[in-house]
Structure formats: structure tokens, C-alpha cells
Amino acid sequence: MKTPFLFKIELIMKKLFLFLVLLGYSITSAQVQKPLLDYDYARFNYDENSSFLEIYYSFAEYLLRPTNIDGVQFVKGYLKINIKNVSDDSLIVDREYKFKSVASDSLTNGKNKSLIGTLAFVVPFGDYTCIITGGDESSSLKYEDKFSFHVSKAKTPSFFLSDIQLASSIKQGSVDPNSVFYKNSYEVIPNPSTVYGEGLPVVFFYSELYDLNKDVQSEYLKVDQLLLDVRNNPVIKKSKLIGRKNPSIVEAGALNISKIPSGTYTLALVLTDSVQNLSLASSKKIFIYNPSIPQPLAQSFSDNDYIASEFASMGDEELDEVFEVSKYLAKKTEIQQWSGIIDLESKRNFLFTFWKGRDQEPSTPLNEYKRDYFKRVELANAQFSTFQKRGYKTDRGRVYLLYGEPSEIERYPNQIDSKPYEIWQYNSLEGGVQFVFADLTGFSDYLLLHSTLRGELRDDNWQRKVVSN
């Protein structure tokens, strides 16, 4: 017998296999520079052979160029979704959606206006890559990104959880059942930016718990709602018991983070059966932007990691230099946060947290990722420095820091009919990509002219720029 969740999903799928809605919800999650497109996704149970994939997106409407149509200002854009099965490279989704929205109201409300929507797909079990592209039809502005995901049947003897959907608002009761954001008696407005804090002080989230009445050996299960810092210490913890009479239920919650310092955190739901000693968890990264809340002092790090770190003894200028070197890895929200820090101790704590959160092997005493990154900084300064720039500030230095040593480099320093240029090949990125740099000024500052890597500068006619006059 199908659960109420499956009946709801089946009803949606019968009405419309995919749906795209753009609504003028004002999301004021943080007063930071937004990209053109934010997105997030979550996977839910569907049937024995497939999962239900939801992709949430929001366009920063103020970045779209208004167009006058019959005296009314409109913004127009597009969204492309391309999903491939990794095992056989088959294309299961290749869709483009276009939208038009009245712009006058959003222009009045400034930079907080977002166009928010949801896409829904039934996806067979397997491994996939998704390319998502959003653009402005009235200009060349666009954003493209790629992510991988896996869908399969939960390999558990009992209950299991869906992904967490982050939301800017969740309502129950007097809500419109015809809304595309309506599911299981809730209206869930997505927050694809995953940013909370100033202007959006409550983290709303939605998840589904399945097979609660399967292999029952205890009357209740315990649900923990956790907000963890970069060292996996709980900053907020809420716990409750749920019964196991219904096969599936919704877990919708809210955490007030108005007093939490800025930084990257993990929202986690943990479902525990104490009788069987079984715990399952679902988690999602979020970013909190609260510039008015001071960073914790060094003494708050009980394990003395901070005190033993190199940042604890650095001066102001040295800290600024470290962040300048590290900025290629920073998110826009982190760059904005750094710009608002004025006291020395907060800068030290920020950089400690910044690199602690990027430690790929936290079980080891050494942060190998940080060590390797700063080794590349030294090499970039040694190899790519010019009369006016240190090596890490050059285009070649940036690419070297982000992507490492190229698989091969073709150098053309003394061509008769062209200026000096280099072609860097990375065989391990996206099946093989190239970067083309050229010394256009004659001062050994090789500028990036072209790359085939998604998100980098692309100019298929780059050759015309290196031709000697």
C-alpha cells in the first residue's frame, strides 16, 4: 500500500511531469552580493525503482535587465536543466524553460527581490550529473554550474530519511493546496541560497521520514535537530519523540539563529531507535551571515586547536595577506563577512574557522589541504610573479592555486606571427579542459584568454588576440 507521500507525489506527476513557477517572494536572507542564480536540491522517496528529485532555484531579479513591453517593465530569463546518467552517458533530462515577470515592483524593493521556483523529476536509481544554467534573455549575463547526485533505495533494515529541504518559510493550516509549494498540508517556500541570518533569522527546513512502522521493536523514535559548527560541535540542539503508528511522517522545523555568529554550519536531523541501537542522519550545509554578532573569543575553543594554530599569533597585516591569498576559495558571503571585520581577534578566529572548515581529513592533526594550498602559493610566487604582481595574483597563479599542476603545458614564447602564449591542459577536470594564457603587454603578465572549463572565461576566437600586429 502506498504511503500518503506517494499518493501526493503521484498526483503531482499526473498533473505535470515538470513544473516551473516564478513568484515574487522577497528573500532577505542576507545583505550580501547575490549571484544571478542560486539553486539547491533534495531527494525524496518515490517507488521501488526511482526517487523524486526536486530542484529549487532563485534568480536575483535586480541583476536581470528590464525590457519595456507596451509601457510595462519586464525581466525575461531562461533556465536549462541537463541530467545525464553516469553509467552510460544517457541523457534523461534536457529541458529549457523561459520566464517573464513584471519588473517594476522588484525594482522598488531593491536587491532583496528573488524569483523563486521548483522543478520536479522522477529519476530511476543510479548516479547522475546535472548541469544547471540560468541566464538573462535581455543581456549576455548567465550562470552555469554542475553537481553530481546519487539515488537508490535506502539500505536499512528499518526507517530512513529524505534529504533536507531548506526553506525561507513553512506554513501549515490555511494554505493554498493548489500552490506548487504545497506538499503534505504544508506550504514550503524554498531558500536555494542556503544563506540565513540578517533579514532571515530563522532556518526553516522540511524532511520526510519513511517506514517508521517497519520492524518495530520500540514504540517511539527520537528525533534530534542539530546545528553544528565547523568542528561538529552542537550550537543548537532540539530533541523529541515520535510515534511509529504511521508509515511516514513529515518533519518540519525551525531554528532561530539570530544570535549565531557568521560562518558555515551543518543542519542535521538524526533519527534514533535506542532499542536496536540504530541511528540515521540527513544533513545540509548552510551559511549564516550575522555581521553584528561578534565572533567567539579564542578561549571558546576548548580543545586548544585555535591557540595552537598559526593564526593566534598573527598581526593585522599578516592576517589580511593570508585572506588575500585564500580568497580564491572563499564564498561571496565569506568575502562580505571578512570586509566587515575590524578587530584583530575576530580576524584570527575567522581565518581559523575558514581553514578548519576546509580540512578534508579532520581526523589527522595536520590540515593537509591547507598545507598543499600554501605550497602552491609559494610555487606560484616563484614561477609567475611579474614586476607589478606577486605570482598568486596573476591569472596563471589563480588557476594554479585552484586546480593544481596542469597535466601538460604547451609553451609558445617566440612565435614570429604571435605574442607569447601558453596552453594548459587538465585531463582530470570535466573529462579534459584547457586554459589559454597570453603575454599581451610584453611584461610577462600572462592573461587568461580562454578556457573550456565551465564557469571560466571562454572565447573560442582567442587566437585573434595573440596575432602580432
pLDDT digits (tens, 9 = 90+) for 171-217: 998 888 888 899 999 999 999 989 899 889 999 999 999 999 887 77
Domain annotation covers residue 69: yes
Domain annotation covers residue 93: yes
Same domain, 266 and 334: no
Q: Where a domain ends, among 342, 358, 374?
A: 358
Same domain, 255 and 346: no
Q: Are 390 and 379 in contact (CB under 8 A)?
A: no
Residues 324 and 322: their CA atoms lie apart, in Å, by: 5
Same domain, 211 and 341: no
Q: What's the domain count of the chain?
A: 3
Neighbour-count burial for 32-43, b at 16+ CB within 10 Å, e otherwise: bebebbbbbbbb
Q: What is the pLDDT tens value at each position of the chain, 469 positions in all? A: 333 333 333 333 333 333 344 444 333 333 344 578 999 999 999 998 999 999 999 998 888 888 888 888 888 999 999 999 998 989 999 999 998 888 755 444 445 577 899 999 999 999 999 999 999 998 888 888 888 999 987 777 788 999 999 999 999 988 888 888 999 999 999 999 898 998 899 999 999 999 998 877 788 899 999 998 877 789 999 999 999 899 999 999 999 999 998 888 899 999 998 888 888 899 998 988 888 887 664 434 434 555 556 787 788 888 999 999 999 999 888 888 898 888 888 888 889 889 888 888 877 777 888 888 988 998 898 889 988 889 999 999 999 999 999 999 999 988 888 999 999 999 988 889 999 999 998 888 999 999 999 889 999 999 999 987 6
Same domain, 437 and 405: yes
Domain annotation covers residue 363: no
Same domain, 304 and 279: no
Domain annotation covers residue 368: no
* Distances from the Cα of 174 to the Cα of 118, 185, 250, 254, 390, angstroms: 21, 9, 17, 19, 60
Unique residue bearing C-alpha cell 593585522: 316
Same domain, 134 and 243: yes
Q: Are 345 and 295 in contact (CB under 8 A)?
A: yes
Q: What pLDDT, on the 0 to 100 scale, is given for residue 20?
A: 40
Same domain, 103 and 183: yes
Residues 384 and 400: their CA atoms lie apart, in Å, by: 10
Q: What pLDDT, on the 0 to 100 scale, is given for residue 300?
A: 41
Residues 281 and 385: their CA atoms lie apart, in Å, by: 47
Residues 430 and 455: their CA atoms lie apart, in Å, by: 12
Same domain, 314 and 389: no
Same domain, 240 and 137: yes
Q: Are 265 and 233 in contact (CB under 8 A)?
A: no
SS3 breakdown of the chain: % helix, strand, coil, rounded to 5? Answer: 20, 40, 40
Residues 124 and 153: their CA atoms lie apart, in Å, by: 10
Q: Are 237 and 224 in contact (CB under 8 A)?
A: yes
DSSP state of 321: H
Residues 57 and 38: their CA atoms lie apart, in Å, by: 6
Domain annotation covers residue 372: no
Same domain, 312 and 268: no
Same domain, 281 and 341: no
pTM exceeds 0.75: no
pLDDT digits (tens, 9 = 90+) for 255-298: 999 999 888 889 999 999 888 888 889 999 898 888 888 766 44
Largest CA distance in the chain: 82
Residues 208 and 252: their CA atoms lie apart, in Å, by: 8
Q: Kindly tell me the sign of the dihedral angle through the C-alpha atoms of 262, 322, 304, 265.
A: positive
Q: What pLDDT, on the 0 to 100 scale, is given for residue 9?
A: 39
Residues 48 and 55: their CA atoms lie apart, in Å, by: 21
**Region label for 430, one of left (φ > 0), alpha (ψ between -120 and 50) or beta (otherwise):** left
Q: What are phi and psi of 334, to 5 degrees?
A: -70, -40
Same domain, 232 and 267: yes
Amino acid at site 458:
R
Q: Residue 254 is part of which domain span? A: 4-289
Residues 255 and 233: their CA atoms lie apart, in Å, by: 16
Domain annotation covers residue 375: no
Unique residue bearing C-alpha cell 597535466: 407
Here the CATH number for the domain that contains residue 165 is: 2.60.40.10
Q: Which residue(s) pair with 178 in the sheet?
A: none
Closest C-alpha among 104, 8, 97 to residue 57: 97
Unique residue bearing C-alpha cell 579534459: 432
Domain annotation covers residue 169: yes
Residues 39 and 166: their CA atoms lie apart, in Å, by: 11
Q: What pLDDT, on the 0 to 100 scale, is given for residue 111?
A: 53
Domain annotation covers residue 88: yes
Residues 218 and 224: their CA atoms lie apart, in Å, by: 17
Q: Kindly tell me the sign of the dihedral angle through the C-alpha atoms of 14, 18, 22, 23.
A: positive
